[in-house]
Amino acid sequence: MPPRQDNFEELIQSIAKSADRASFARVYEFYAPRVRNYLVRLGMANNVAEELAQETMLTVWRKASYFDASRAGASTWILTIARNLRIDHHRRASGRDAAPDDPSQAQESPAPPDSSLIQAESEERVRQALASLSAEQAEIIKRLYFDEKPHSAIAQSLGLPLGTVKSRARLAIGHLRRLLDDLK
């Protein structure tokens, strides 16, 4: 059975098992711009962010077999790769000329073992909360937050008034907030 279009965990597993180029193309199309934007928000120059986004996606292709959906979602895994490549880039750029006791050169302490379990449980709760939305609300939330579309573009593409789109988004967010309030 082919993976569902929106299940990136299954797509990454398909890449790992059979070097499926179609699955990789779908993962790349969705995540490459998001990784680039993430790196720009962290202060990287556009050209460097683009280069590191390409390198991130190449790492996804090469190391898909290391992905473990029980430990983290696809977004978390891919953005962690990007973050690590960013750190490596800064280390190379600095030439390691800093003093040995420089706090900026200190390695991060490893995350506690239970943090990945807590994160996986949180991600599952978010998936369930999203599934509890009406189809109309879920579509608007998907386009608004996952596709990063503005309200006006969503309204135009769905043939709805702008006020309806904003109202559905507000109601959906309120519903998600009530379901996930304890995750803060």
Question: With a threshold of 0.75, does the pTM exceed it?
Answer: no
SS3 42: coil
Report pLDDT for 163: 93
CATH number at residue 153: 1.10.10.10
Report pLDDT for 158: 92
Domain membership of residue 3 (yes or no) is no
Report pLDDT for 106: 59
Read off the pLDDT band of 110 (50, 70, 90). low
54-93: per-residue pLDDT in tens? 999 999 888 888 888 788 888 888 988 999 999 999 888 8
Report pLDDT for 101: 54
52-62: per-residue pLDDT in tens? 999 999 998 88
140-168: per-residue pLDDT in tens? 988 888 888 899 999 999 999 999 999 99
The share of the chain scoring above pLDDT 90, in percent, equals: 22
Count Cβ atoms below 10 Å from residue 74 Cβ, excluding itself: 21
Report pLDDT for 151: 92
Domain membership of residue 173 (yes or no) is yes
Residues 142, 65 share a domain:
no
* Neighbour-count burial for 118-136, b at 16+ CB within 10 Å, e otherwise: eebeebeeeeebbeebeee
Residue 20 and residue 12 in contact, taking contact as beta carbons nearer than 8 Å:
no
Number of domains in the chain: 2
Domain membership of residue 28 (yes or no) is yes
Residue 146 and residue 172 in contact, taking contact as beta carbons nearer than 8 Å:
no
Residue 169 clears pLDDT 80, i.e. is over it = yes
Report pLDDT for 183: 66
Residues 90, 13 share a domain:
yes
Residues 124, 67 share a domain:
no
Residue 103 clears pLDDT 70, i.e. is over it = no
Residue 108 and residue 127 in contact, taking contact as beta carbons nearer than 8 Å:
no
Domain boundary, last residue among 65, 96, 127: 96
Q: Is the dihedral of CA 55, 56, 60, 63 positive or negative?
A: positive
17-37: per-residue pLDDT in tens? 888 888 889 888 999 999 999
Instruction: Tell me the residue range of the domain where 152 lies.
Output: 114-183
